[in-house]
Chain A
Amino acid sequence: MNAVATLSAFALPVTLATILVLGIVRRVALYESFVEGAKEGFGTSVNLIPHLIAMMVAVSVFRSSGALGLLMGVLHPWLNRLHFPPELLPLALLRPISGSASLALVTDLFKHAGPDSFLGRAASTMQGSTDTTLYVLTVYFGSVGIRNPRYSVKVGLLSDLVSVIASVWAVTWMFGK
């Protein structure tokens, strides 16, 4: 467990140092490349704004109206038996379908439970550890005109399920409930 905590603390600094050293050794124009990439990043974030507004509004209405509370009430006894936190179910269901919708749900959980709560950490892990399965399938198969994806939808969604279970398990194991 300590090893994983150390991994968390060192992952980012070590990655950054590796990139900088490798860049210097291979004679990359460090500063110039950084600025060029950061400019792209700016565009990426700005493109995110309309998507996030759309999804945050829908999620926010869903919560403030009491609909989320009702859903949780219905699901609670079922999911408790499976030892799965019901608050994470909407995220688990939307993660494979839409990246911006699930990002909006994570934001909502951070706002109400805090990023350092069990729910906040589990949501971070669920969001960060996988990609938007249905989006990837559509883009990749669509690009070459494949109409029969065979078993890949099954494989993608089942591994998302594994990812959800693994996220909840990893956070429980590392930080406790």
Chain B
Amino acid sequence: MDVIWFGLFMTGIIVAAATGRVEAVTEGVLTGAKDGVLVSFGLISVIAFWLGMMKIAEQAGLVQSLAKLLRPLARWLYPSVPSDHPAMGSLIANMSANILGLGNAATPLGLKAMRELQDLNGNRATASAAMCTLLAMNTASLTVIPATMIGLRMEFHSRAPADIVGSTILATVIATAAAIMLDRFFRRRSMGGKART
């Protein structure tokens, strides 16, 4: 994080000095800071609205409804987790919350799943196969409504802020499918030596 920030900032300053346009730095700092505030304030409307709707979804039990549908998929994704183990419940709840875009709810559920998987793992410092799958699912993060992006597009006066929903769903489905396949591929390869016997 520090490296990125320092890198962008310093490269900018050095290039500006080298090309004899030092005043560009001052200009960049001022417009950048202003844009940061404007964008954050603009996003309040959409983020507040969306989290309000999501609170209703959460209290209506949408996570639990979706969880029922996802159970078979979860069994296929996590063959090493017994289906009556509490970890399975958390894994499914985490997946449901992610799909609904409930980022705030998904993280605590995911961390709960990690603790329960760590019990199954015998408290080692090396990740188990199920943990790697959980991480693959969470880094790819299947999204249905990219609310923040719709909000940002609105703020820049897009003619159709929501027209990227379709392309986002396509991309997220492809990336999640790829994450699942990659995870399976590397899991098999890592078991190659010992588990085949």
Contact = CB atoms under 8 A, between A and B. Distances in A.
A65 B23 CA distance: 9
Nearest to A115: B158
A48 B41 CA distance: 9
22 contacts: A22-B57, A23-B60, A34-B55, A38-B52, A41-B48, A41-B50, A42-B47, A45-B47, A54-B5, A62-B11, A64-B16, A64-B28, A65-B13, A96-B139, A124-B168, A129-B172, A131-B139, A139-B107, A141-B131, A141-B135, A145-B118, A163-B140
Given A57-B28, A58-B8, A41 B44 contact: yes
B168 A129 contact: yes
A158 B144 CA distance: 21
A166 B167 CA distance: 9
Contacts of B156: 110-111, 114-115, 120
A166 B62 contact: no
Interface residues of B, number: 102
A66 B12 CA distance: 7
B195 interface: no
Contact of B31 (A37, A60, A147, A148): A60
A137 interface: yes
B40 A146 contact: no
Contacts of A39: 48
B51 A57 contact: no
Contacts of B9: 57-58, 61-62
